[in-house]
Amino acid sequence: MRYFIELQYDGAAYFGWQRQPDTATVQGTIEAKLSMLRGTPTEIVGAGRTDTGVNASFYTAHFDSDTTVDCQQLAYKLNKVLPADIAIIRIYEVEETKHARFDARQREYTYFLTPHKSPFRRYSAWHFTADINIDMMNEAAAKLLEHDDFTSFAKLNSNNMTNICHITHAEWRVESDGTLRFTIRADRFLRNMVRAIVGTLVDVGRGKYSVAEFEDIIVSRDLSRSSAGAPACGLFLSDVRY
């Protein structure tokens, strides 16, 4: 039997999602507690990797079990033993062929910039005080939907089979408190891709690049031409759709 887990986590204390030896990761932390509660080694498969310091306001994973699981009780117990920076939303049974990673049709990331210093957002937003042109950033972001090769925003030596991604939405909005919120959706993302896009779009907003130059960066397929990646703290995996 296969079970899906929906969860959230603050990534500040973890070296990303993926299990690593002798290193604190979200996957490793959940697996340890899940195995303890079930009394048997239990591996989980996540919807995808998130890097060091990246957060998730919505994340999915699955695990297999030879015995029936009381989903509500297991979710309750997991929340009791997991650290405060990981929360289980719910656990539910799915078809045995449903896969948390390979069956995901669309993923959404959200990035936050705040112009105001806040002790409560130091791990959840990029504190950025320079003047930026949101209209130009949105004009540039729209160019992402016209292309599908994002080598210019892909981390080197990531062993990607392909750098092709199909972006369906990319937009900046200003919230009531002045926070800038960037939402991007695609069928898949490359490692470090969203942070590199955000960093480069912010440089468009600062006037370092024009919209045409931003599109030239995409077309060039040259990572050295894109800007430094935005800080991990502002990035959230915010949705996974099946």
- pLDDT category at 69 given cuts 50, 70, 90 is very high
pLDDT at 74: 98
Residue 4 has pLDDT above 90, yes or no: yes
Strands 106-114 and 126-127: parallel
Mean pLDDT, range 30-34, rounded to an integer: 98
Residues 27, 16: Cα–Cα separation, whole Å = 8
pLDDT, residue 157, reads: 66
Predicted TM-score (pTM) of this structure: 0.94
Asked about 64 being catalytic, the answer comes back as: no
DSSP assignments along 92-150, one per residue:
EEE-TT--TTTT--EEEEEEEEESS--TTSTTTSEE--S---HHHHHHHHHHGGG--B-
CA terminus-to-terminus distance, the chain? 19
| Mean pLDDT of the 143-154 span | 96
58 CB burial (10 A radius; 0-12, 13-18, 19+): middle
At residue 89, the pLDDT reads 98
Q: What's the mean pLDDT when you consider all of the chain?
A: 95
β-strand partners of 87: 8
Among candidate residues 51, 64, 66, 177, the one labeled active-site is 51
- Band of residue 152 on the pLDDT scale cut at 50, 70, 90: very high
Task: Give me the pLDDT at residue 1, please.
Answer: 96
For residue 155, what pLDDT band results from cuts at 50, 70 and 90?
Answer: confident
Helix (H) or strand (E) holding 77: helix 71-81
Least confident stretch, 38-42, 70-74, 155-159: 155-159
Calpha distance 89→30 (Å, rounded) = 13
| CB contact at 8 A, 28 and 210 | no
Domains located in the chain, CATH noted: 2-94 (3.30.70.580), 106-241 (3.30.70.660)
Give the type of residue at 7: L
